[in-house]
Amino acid sequence: MSWITGILVYVIVWWVVLFAVLPFGVRPANRPAPGTAPSAPARPRIRLKVAVTSVIAAVVWLAIRYAIDYDLFGLREYIRQG
């Protein structure tokens, strides 16, 4: 895997994980301020979610990198036969 491919894979994995992590711990405000949507979270904790997303994405990226480098799924041989 080249470094450009590695960066692109990480960015894609990061966004997918972010969308999976965003709903965790979200509670709507008891009394929303006027002009605020009733479903808006009281404390979105975005910094925490970005940090958690970065760690999880790094672990997933390492697993993908390992699977590609060591050809765990046998795709290289399948491509050669094609």
Whole-model pTM above 0.85? no
DSSP, collapsed to helix, strand or coil, labels residue 28 as strand
Give, in degrees to the nearest 5, the angle at Cα 31 between 29 and 33.
Answer: 95
pLDDT, average across residues 61-73: 89
Domain that holds residue 17: 3-81
Domain count, the chain: 1
Confidence class of residue 59 from pLDDT cuts 50, 70 and 90? very high
Q: Tally the C-alpha atoms within 13 A of residue 20's C-alpha that lie toward its C-beta.
A: 11
**How is the chain split among helix, strand and coil, in percent rounded to 5?**
60, 0, 35
Distance (Å, rounded) from C-alpha 9 to C-alpha 69?
14
- pLDDT per residue over 3-47, tens digit each? 999 999 999 999 999 999 999 999 988 888 888 898 889 889 999
